[in-house]
Structure 1
Amino acid sequence: MSSQSVTPEVLWAQRSSSTEASKNVIYLTLMVSDVPENDMNLDLQPNKLSFTGTSTSKKVSYNVELEFFAEIDPKESKIHHTGRDIVLVLRKKELKDEYWPRLLKESKKMHFLKTDFDKWVDEDEQDEQPDDEDFMSKMNPMGGAGGDGGFGGIDFSKLGAAQGMGGLPDMGAMGDMGEGSDDEGDDDDDMPALEGEDKPTKTGESKPQIEEVQ
């Protein structure tokens, strides 16, 4: 019996810089628990990311494709895999002070896409945010590794290649997504996602109404 196919919850935040490439990034977290490294496909290209993998505990197959608002540099991006999720730091290709207005190219609501408030800071306050050097030191580079690249069975030599995974369905046609959520007791479902120029406020301040990005 085949496992159910669901879209995982995706959290995101960002930083921007016109002078320091390492601070001009997208933070992306795929909430895919208990997916073995040798049983997943992650294809990162300059304009999109595709992921499939099967959870051994939830008995579901995760499937998601994200087409980015602008281009990223796969070779300068990093990844960190845990039992609960996959965290990526995607290097924006264009050095720019301004934030991306949204993560995805298409301005359409995606119920699974949410703002990562643990990593988010307002655009005009990002210089005050200290770099998480300890976390970054745990991450593996995405490009140029080849073979297992220190990250299980994923062939990173294929990342950024012209060919995509192919055969992935449109997000709108992916079955019932509710059963594949990895919230596990937190309140992420109540959090709005970024869209347009609205941004979350800092802790202790009231948050404006923010619509989820689609």
Structure 2
Amino acid sequence: MSTTQQTPEVLWAQRSSATDPEKNFIYLTISVPDVPASNLKLDLKPQGLTFTGHSDSLKRTYHLEAEFYDEIDVANSQVNHTGKNVELKLRKKELKAEYWPRLLKEAKKVHYLKTDFDKWVDEDEQNEAAEEDFSQFGGMEGGMPGMGGMGGGAGGDFGGIDFSKLGGGAMPGMGGDEEEDDEDDEDMPPLEGEEEEEGKAEEKKAESS
């Protein structure tokens, strides 16, 4: 059977800070369902990334090459692999209060890249946003198992990351179960004013009978 190759969907959001490196990063989620850790390779560099993943069950190979708008700090970036996607927390190299105007260096719209509205926060509302839990993310520093030769300087080759050594499973607040959200909607109380309108309708019905 033939194998098809396609560019995976990529969701992104960001945070920024002029003083705190921990709050100056890019969220990146590469949607690659049914791709086992053994079939993933991520080459992350300051200027961009190259990703390849193969799904045996879907007979599909995912390939992505992206050049970032600005540089990232690879050593202080993090990655997490789940059964549905590869999640990245990319540390921006330059501390700035302003957001990047876009993710990619080239200012053109690409079909596979979308805003991650679940994680997006407006630039002026960052301080009020809840802190994210990155406890399941693995660091890129210190020669993580399976990362290959780190090399020296900004152009180090990070080769094929061994995702099987990283924490798996869905992260709290990073997707969750959509069915639970639907159930919550069903239990929503009536909108303000609805009960009052229902009461008036009952009174009119009683008067006319």
TM-score (norm 1): 0.69
One-letter amino acid of the counterpart of residue 95, structure 1: L
Whose helix proportion is higher, 1 or 2?
2
Verify the 8 A CA contact 2:73 2:90 in the aligned structure 1: yes
Answer whether contact 1:52 1:63 (CA < 8 A) is retained.
Answer: yes
Distance apart, 1:163 and its partner CA = 5.1
Q: Please state whether the residue corresponding to 1:38 is helix, strand or coil.
A: helix
Deviation sequence 1:27-82 (CA, Å, 0-9, x none): 00000011111111100000001100101322100000110000001100001100
Match in the other structure for 1:64: 64
The residue aligned with 1:25 is 25
> Which structure would you say has the larger Rg?
2
For the 8 Å contact 1:147–1:157, the answer to whether it is kept is no
Cα distance, 1:105–1:131 mapped onto 2, change above 3 Å: same
Q: Deviations over 1:108-154 (max 9, x none)?
A: 11000000000001000011002113xx0111002323333xxxxxx
* Aligned residue in 1 for 2:83: 83
Coordinate RMSD, CA, aligned: 2.0
Q: Which one-letter code corresponds to 2:96 in the other structure?
A: K
Give the counterpart of 1:139 among 123, 137, 140: 137
Q: In the superposition, relative to structure 1, how do residues 105 and 164 fare at CA in structure 2: closer, same or farther (>3 Å)?
A: farther
Which amino acid letter does the alignment assign opposite residue 146 of structure 1?
A: M
Q: Distance in 1 between matches of 2:149 and 2:124?
A: 37
Instruction: Determine which structure has greater relative contact order: mean sequence separation of CA pairs < 8 Å that are 6+ residues apart, divided by chain length.
Output: 1
Amino acid at match of 1:99: Y
Unaligned runs of 5+ in 2: 160-177, 179-209
| Alpha-carbon distance change, 161 to 2 in structure 1, aligned in 2, over 3 angstroms | farther
TM-score by length of 2: 0.71
CA–CA distance in structure 1, aligned partners of residues 121 and 63 of structure 2: 29
Q: Which runs of 4+ in 1 moved over 6 A?
A: none
